[in-house]
Amino acid sequence: MSLPTPAPATPSPGTRELRTALGRFATGVTIVTCRDTPGAPVGLTCNSFNALSLEPPLVLWSLRRASPNLAAFVGAGHFAVNVLAEDQIELSRRFASSAPDRFAEGVWHDGTGGAPLLVGAAAVFECETVSHQDVGDHVLFIGRVLRLADAALPPLVFHGGRYHLLGEIL
């Protein structure tokens, strides 16, 4: 059996090619939240979330440096990662849009440090921010998981710039 030949590597990929190739890596979809200093809830759709360490329990995600919410996440000290279930696609769209009050939809309650937790999420990680650093055009956040809730619901999937449901296990 012959393996498919990968497209030739380019020495320095353009942003479009990079984005397209990175899109081959299927991810879940999360809404990462915190509470800003005046006390308002803050959140955005995010698929850069990933596991980093089991002992200690660490996770990571990145926020574009131009985000109007950067100061809130840097100052908050805590954040929550809400892993979206397959029926929460509209919330994903909402939290990636310019909707004025993103939290007007969904059922939310306060977690550690006031970070909003989403009822019906597949899993929720409440984290203390242990570091944030500028990396390229994003800021990399690393958090220590203080608490988690695992509803074991089927997740929403993002691949190739589109939403998917999990396929059957072959």
Ligand X SMILES: Cc1cc2nc3c(=O)[nH]c(=O)nc-3n(C[C@H](O)[C@H](O)[C@H](O)COP(=O)(O)O)c2cc1C
How far apart are the C-alpha atoms of 15 and 18, rounded to whole Å?
5
Cα distances (angstroms) measured from residue 1 to each of 4, 8, 87, 170: 10, 21, 39, 20
Please tell me the distance from the alpha carbon of residue 104 to that of residue 30, in angstroms, as a whole number.
17
Nearer to ligand X, 63 or 115 (CB): 63
- Determine what percent of the chain falls in helix, strand and coil, rounding each to the nearest 5: 15, 45, 40
Q: Which is nearer to ligand X, 10 or 106 (CB)?
A: 106
Q: Tell me the C-alpha distance between 147 and 115, whole Å.
A: 12
Least distance in Å: CB of 3 to ligand X? 30
Indicate the residue among 67 and 112 with the shorter CB distance to ligand X: 67
| Least spacing, CB of residue 2 vs ligand X, in Å | 34
**Residue 7 beta carbon to ligand X: minimum distance, rounded to whole angstroms:** 24
Residue 60 to residue 79: CA distance in whole angstroms: 11
At closest approach, how far in Å is the CB of 4 from ligand X?
Answer: 27
- Comparison of 10 and 71: residue with beta carbon closer to ligand X: 71
Footprint of ligand X (CB under 6 A): 29, 44-48, 61-64, 67-69, 96, 158
